[in-house]
Amino acid sequence: MTRPILIAIAAVLVIILLVSSLKGEPDVLFYGEVDAKEYLVASKSVGRIESIHVRKGDRVDKGQPIFKLASPELDAKLAQAKAALEAATAASTDLKKGARLPEIAIAQDTLRQAQVAQKLAQATFNRVNNLYNEGVVSRQRRDEAQAAYNNTLIATQSAEQALMLVKQGARDDTIQVATANQKVAQAVVTEAQVFTNETLIKAPHAGEVTSILLREGEISVPALPVVRLIDLDDAWGVFNVREDHLNGLDHGDQLVVTIPALNLEGIKFRVTHIAALGHYATWRTSKPGTGYDMRTFEVEAVAIEPVAKLRAGMSLLVTSVESVNE
């Protein structure tokens, strides 16, 4: 191959490269990626995971079962609470009903016995007192008979009061205390039932399962996520923009975006949030002599029109900005 031919081939290649560079992708102002709302599904109580009802990639509806816990401790607490409620209910009911007929009959028999003993003691005292007046018995014997009579009077009064209390039943404040104890026991049952029902964990929101962090047989503790859900219908773009590239970007401005993963161009996003990121993570050295370090700002924007198949993590290339003030 002669030298002129080689030179011609090289020239053609250079021309092709130049043409390709002229027809390349437009300049990119800044980059970002798609983010979406995430939900962490966890339990309220400790338990061993009995079953998981979803797999990664599944689409779930709000309220759909996600996983179930096995917790014998909760079952035992519920049974204990129900037993306490039964006892409190029985005590309250018994007080409200008042005394039973056999209890009243026993109190009446006790009063009759006291009255009989009183009559006998009175008769005995009268005889002894007469003998004492005649000088037949000593004063001590008379005093003993009088003391026995007085004791029977006290016993009769006590029996009368006991019968009255039995007929009246429990006091109002005693019944109120028993009723309050019953309500407390009912609240404990309700609480235990709530925790027991929470062993079947349901989706808090519709979405797609992105990861399963624990497996069947492992222990789940409160607030520790077991499953992650992501709502792809609530997605937005996140851009970390150095302040010298903001160029007056404002809320409501429209970003013209290219999405390589979907082979889409000219997709418009509306700016909804602009805020500086933390100092420690966003300082950048500016040009020598400017005397300051540049900050990085987080910019969020949502698609003006729904974008089909948009997923979290996809790259977003901003090619131009359309200001609302123009």
Nearest to 297 by CA among 319, 320, 313, 273: 273
pLDDT of residue 291: 53
Residue 137: how many other CB atoms lie within 10 Å: 17
257, 247 in Cβ contact below 8 A? no
Domain 40-70+200-227 has CATH 2.40.50.100: yes
Listed as ranges, residues in the chain with pLDDT below 70 are 1-26, 94-105, 163, 165-175, 279-292, 326
pLDDT of residue 178: 74
- In the CATH hierarchy, which top-level class contains the domain 26-37+231-322? mainly beta
- Write the Ramachandran bin of 277: left for phi over 0, alpha for psi from -120 to 50, otherwise beta: beta
C-beta atoms surrounding 108 within 10 Å: 15
Question: What separation, in Å, do the N-terminal and C-terminal C-alpha atoms of the chain show?
Answer: 60
Query: Residue 229 CB: number of other CB atoms within 10 A?
Result: 25
Looking at this protein, which amino acid is placed at residue 33? E
The DSSP result for 14-63, as a single string, is HHHHHHHHHTSPPPPSEEEEEEEEEEEE--SS-EEEEEE---TT-EE-TT
Alpha helix segments (H runs only) across 198-314? 279-282
Q: Do β-strands 65-70 and 207-212 pair in parallel, antiparallel, or remain unpaired?
A: unpaired
Rounded distance between C-alpha atoms, residue 175 and residue 245, angstroms: 77
**Side chain identity at 93, as an amino acid letter?**
T
CA distance 30 to 237: 12
Collect all residues with Cβ–Cβ distance below 8 Å to 102 and sequence separation of at least 6: none
pLDDT at 303: 94
Show the DSSP H helices in the chain as ranges: 3-22, 72-97, 101-133, 139-168, 172-197, 279-282
The helix (run of H) or strand (run of E) holding residue 227 is strand 227-242
All structural domains of the chain with their residue ranges = 26-37+231-322, 40-70+200-227, 80-193
Contact between 44 and 224 (Cβ < 8 Å): no
How many whole angstroms separate alpha carbon 103 and alpha carbon 109?
10
How high is the pLDDT of residue 35?
Answer: 95
Q: Tens digit of pLDDT for each residue in 182-233? A: 788 888 888 888 878 888 999 999 999 999 999 998 988 888 899 999 999 9
